[in-house]
A and B are shown apart, each in its own frame.
Chain A
Amino acid sequence: MMKRMTCILCPNGCKLKVEVSDKEILSLVGAKCPKGQKFAHQEINNPHRNIATSVLVNGGELPLVSVRLTAPIPKNRIFDMMEEIKKTQCDAPVKSGQILIKNALDLGVDVVCTKEVEQEAR
């Protein structure tokens, strides 16, 4: 079976044509770099995505701190992860790189701050 997909690993956005049989890649054209092969394999077997969202900050100069996952997770767990992150709050100050949830949903990834939020000036 021929599958067409767009590699999302970099801004090139290569359009891949992948010949697939029983979840194995028989041939692949259109990838400008070796990452394309890896992406196609992952995409056929178990597509993964990273997500970025925000967490409430108590006592911060901003109401939210932006967060992301340390690694992509299976696509079908994205909304479970959003629910999990929504349950979390943190206290200012927070640092970029600070881990807010370790091993979230037992998926082996952490939820990590991507921004610094100082305490609110009194």
Chain B
Amino acid sequence: MNEIQKQVVIVGGGPAGLAAAVALYDLGIKDLLIVEREKNLGGILRQCIHDGFGLTRFNESLSGPEYAKRFIDEVKNRNIPVITETTVLEITKDHVVRAASRHGLHTWRADAIVLSMGCRERTRGALQIPGERPAGVYTAGVAQSYINLYNTMVGKAVVILGSGDIGLIMARRLTLEGAKVLGVFEILPYPSGLERNVEQCLNDFGIPLYLSHTVTKIHGGHRIQGVTVSRVDYNRKPIPGSDTYYPCDTLVLSVGLIPENELSKMAGVELDIRTSGPVVDASYQTSTPGIFAAGNVLHVHDLVDYVSLEAERLAKGVMDYLVHSYVDDSNVKVIAGKGITYVLPQHIGKKHAPLLSMRVKCPGENVQIVVQQGEEVLVSVEFDEALPAEMIQIPLELDKIQNNNPLEVFVR
């Protein structure tokens, strides 16, 4: 099998991969290849036809395909090589990338690899909802691709479980296409999606949002006929006697996203149980030298604008590895403390100043987030409001770090 040498192979041509490619090229790394399994570049943005993307980066409200096009055009302008309809099957520790397409098998050996595979949706199986196994149960992203890419309506009477952003967006989309959305049921006492999506996707259309509720049974033979919904207590346990039956022909699940790391595992990349993504240093290098990760494969983002920015920071790390033979010199661990779900990078070295990315565990007002080393407070930032739906980022200057003791990030 012919092995083709490349400086950098980028696995996935979604927002992270595209931004990484453009940034690497502009830093002088030109021997690149983007490997994409779909026919077109753009990743999940292709089916996100609603607007609201790019407000941070471009200061205007773009649809998903338009946001993607900005980066695809940049890739085309630079003649960065792209291979589509090609699925990566394996990545090895020593940087061999194997992929399959209609034309056969491909093998590349790269100096560095960028993991930008994005994430996938949690499914019914992960929730273990009791009941029948009828048709008509979709994850929100699958329903979105049926409607927006394949012109196939999924149903007429819809129940949505989970208030993640895609679920909220789909509540509106289904309503616009003539379906009746009976309600969005969220097990937590607060919405999982952004506040503005609750407003413009549910409230605008009079779709009720039931907090502290979940689906406890799915009914139906061949096709779903209804669901039982129950109220839950503080421990998210269904309260007996609080059941309501909703007849429906469709159940849409918007119950979380999981970074897609099957390939990362093959390459020996260590994963963080909190993010389900790779453990990285401040240059986005994983535990396998020369393999880097950014975007939703690393941790699930709230906004695509931040995915692009993260991939651009990654490019600097890749550059430093390729040109200056930077090896991870991390000596300081970063720990998610009280009130913080996760924080990354998980460790920090002596060269790259980290941008700490994190999520809070529960909503709060006047929240103070503290970065502390031993007894020393390195940074403390006050937020009027902090929501689990929103990623929080805090930059940290390297010269503030005193010694090799772990850093703790926590809510005060």
Report which A residues bind B (CB closer than 8 A).
Answer: 5-8, 10-13, 15, 49-54, 56, 61-64, 66-68, 75, 78-79, 82, 96, 114-116
Contact = CB atoms under 8 A, between A and B. Distances in A.
Nearest to B63: A114
The 7 closest A-B pairs by CB, nearest first: A13-B195, A66-B49, A13-B196, A115-B65, A6-B199, A114-B63, A63-B151
A79 B179 CA distance: 12
Interface stretch (B50-58, B232-240, B253-261): B50-58
B135 interface: no
Contact of B148 (A5, A54, A75): A54
B302 interface: yes
Contact of A6 (B50, B198, B390): B198
A15 B195 contact: yes
Counting chain B residues whose Cβ lies within 8 A of the other chain, the interface size class is 20 to 34
B367 to A, nearest CB: 15
6 contacts: A11-B56, A11-B196, A54-B147, A62-B149, A75-B204, A96-B65
Contact of B69 (A11, A51, A53, A116): A116
Contacts of B147: 54
A30 B365 CA distance: 13
B66 interface: yes
B296 to A, nearest CB: 16
Most chain A CB neighbours (cut-off 10 Å) among B61, B63, B302, B390? B63
A13 B203 CA distance: 14
B176 A11 contact: no
Most chain B CB neighbours (cut-off 10 Å) among A8, A51, A53? A8
A44 to B, nearest CB: 15
B176 A51 contact: yes
B199 A52 contact: no
Contacts of A49: 200, 204
Contacts of B69: 96, 115-116
B196 A8 contact: yes
B63 A10 contact: no
Contacts of A63: 150-151
Contacts of A79: 176
A62 to B, nearest CB: 7
Given A11-B52, A11-B196, A66 B63 contact: yes
Contacts of A53: 49, 176-177
Interface string B159-183: 0000000000000000011000000
B172 to A, nearest CB: 9
B313 interface: no
B301 to A, nearest CB: 11
Contacts of A54: 49, 147-148, 151
A67 B51 CA distance: 10
A6 to B, nearest CB: 4
A96 B66 contact: yes
B207 interface: no
A66 to B, nearest CB: 4
Given A52-B50, A66-B148, A78 B176 contact: yes
B347 interface: no
A56 B148 CA distance: 11
B51 A6 contact: no
Contact of B51 (A61, A64, A68): A68
Contact of A56 (B149, B151, B199): B151
B151 A64 contact: yes
B46 interface: yes
Given A8-B199, A53-B176, 20 more contacts: A6-B195, A8-B200, A10-B55, A11-B194, A11-B196, A11-B302, A11-B390, A13-B194, A51-B176, A54-B147, A64-B149, A66-B148, A68-B51, A75-B204, A78-B176, A96-B66, A114-B62, A114-B65, A115-B63, A116-B69
